[in-house]
Amino acid sequence: MSVDDGHYRPTYNDIHKLIGNSAKKIRDEFKPDLFVAIGGGGFYPARVMRTFCKTPGRKNIPIQAIGLSLYEEMGTEDSTQEKLGKEIVRTQWLDFSTLGKMSLLGRRILIVDEVDDTRTTLAYAISELQQDLEKQLAALPEEKRKTIPKTEFAIFVVHNKLKEKAASLPSDIMYFSGEDLGDVWVDYPWEMLDIDKHEELAAAQKKLRAEQQS
């Protein structure tokens, strides 16, 4: 395997630090009180984000997991649907039986995933969460509604690929990425069968890049 094969190979420690750096900004600028991790890729970043957003002496910020898969990833042949919602399959959603039926109201919700590639999954997640929120708001009497602070959503992804996106996000949503990339293939450490080989290639690539820049 050539080192210069176009794959980008962040190590666990690289990603841990990217999350730590973003967490400073996110705590200052957004102050989340609920994480929504998009599984499976968002599970690990959300867990680390919780560490960096923890205020000593206060409770952990809760993580709710949701599962979303693109149809094509599920081996279904018909992936030509035009509507965004139809391309995506929910495998798990927020648990309102434990979170409470009014649980989104007034919250500051950070949605966490590993990579923003086509943006399809993120746009779906935001749109569905906002629909849930509208339903929760509509169930309240108007006077009550006025007393509730605006629910805010933000997004954190470890990597954002700077490329044309298939979907867009509402303009009032804060967006944080650990690192912006070109349209490269990212080898995440949690996907690797041989983690020593991954680290070795990652180190060789870093050395090569440093040499090319000097």
Q: What are the residues binding a second copy (CB under 8 A)?
A: 11-13, 16-17, 20, 37, 39-41, 43-44, 46-48, 50-52, 59-60, 62-65, 67, 74-75, 90-95, 97-99, 189-193, 195-196, 199
Nearer to a second copy, 99 or 174 (CB): 99
Nearer to a second copy, 11 or 130 (CB): 11
Please enumerate, as own/partner, the contacts of 21-29 that have beta carbons within 8 Å and a separation of 24 or more.
Answer: 21/178, 22/49, 22/156, 22/176, 22/177, 22/178, 23/49, 23/52, 23/53, 24/52, 25/176, 26/53, 26/110, 26/154, 26/156, 26/176, 27/52, 27/53, 29/174
Rounded Cα distance, 12 and 189, in Å: 6
Closest approach of Cβ 182 to a second copy, in Å? 25
Contacts with 147 (C-beta within 8 Å, 6 or more apart), sequence order: none
Q: Is 85 helix (H, G, I), strand (E, B) or coil?
A: helix
Nearer to a second copy, 53 or 169 (CB): 53
Q: Is 204 helix (H, G, I), strand (E, B) or coil?
A: helix
Closest approach of Cβ 180 to a second copy, in Å? 22
Nearer to a second copy, 8 or 96 (CB): 96
Helix H or strand E encompassing 25? helix 12-29
Closest approach of Cβ 188 to a second copy, in Å? 9
Closest approach of Cβ 158 to a second copy, in Å? 13
List 95, 117, 194, 196, catalytic entry: 117
For residue 40, whether the previous peptide bond is cis, meaning omega lies within 30 degrees of 0, is yes
Closest approach of Cβ 51 to a second copy, in Å? 5
- Buried b / exposed e over 159-189, threshold 16 CB at 10 Å, is bbbeeebeeebeeeebebbbbebeeeebebb
183 annotated active-site: no
Nearer to a second copy, 176 or 188 (CB): 188
- Catalytic center residues: 117
